[in-house]
Structure 1
Amino acid sequence: MDLSLLGVVAAVAVVMLSLLIVILRYLYRHKGTYHTNEAKGTEFAENADAALKNDPSLQDAVDESKKEYFI
């Protein structure tokens, strides 16, 4: 076998092994992490209306005369 071909094969194997190590490390470190967009402090509200009334980002958007519920 040609020596340069053996070098290319070895270089590709090292790159693939390094990539595998980086991917496995990333998956291990980010296992089970997720982010939600739920409003803070709404877990103790007695119903959906009370939770939405206290959300500062929805203060202007909530109209008491038009209530819609989506399931």
Structure 2
Amino acid sequence: MDSALVGGVIAAVIFVVICLLVVLIRYLYRHKGTYHTNEAKGTEFAENADAALKNDPNFQDAVDESKKEYFI
């Protein structure tokens, strides 16, 4: 009786692990190569960083011409 119970528990654990592996592999396959960036749209053609930030509506009030900082 005990061996049947142990065998059932082992079979259930193996089944759950296999199901989790299938779900994980399917998720990784479907989301392969997708990523999201927070870069502003249209800034890839700007001649420098200042021009790109001037056209970004999120930074219209934050850009002050007298105080520029550059981080390298």
Q: Give the structure-1-normalised TM-score.
A: 0.93
Residue ranges of structure 2 left out of the alignment (5+ in a row): none
Note the C-alpha offset of 1:4: 1.2
**Corresponding residue for residue 35 of structure 1:** 36
Identity %: 76
- 1:43 counterpart SS class: helix
Cα distance, 1:39 vs structure 2: 0.6
CA RMSD of aligned residues (A): 1.0
TM-score normalised per structure 2:
0.92
CA distance in structure 1 between the aligned counterparts of 2:27 and 2:40, rounded to whole angstroms: 29
Structure 1, unaligned runs of 5 or more: none
Superposed displacement of residue 46, structure 1: 1.0
SS of 2:45's equivalent? coil
**AA aligned opposite 1:47:** N
Off by >4 Å, runs of 4+ in structure 1: none
Task: Give the deviation of 1:37 after TM superposition.
Answer: 0.8
Deviation at 1:68, TM superposition (A): 0.8
Higher relative contact order (CA 8 A, sep 6+): 1
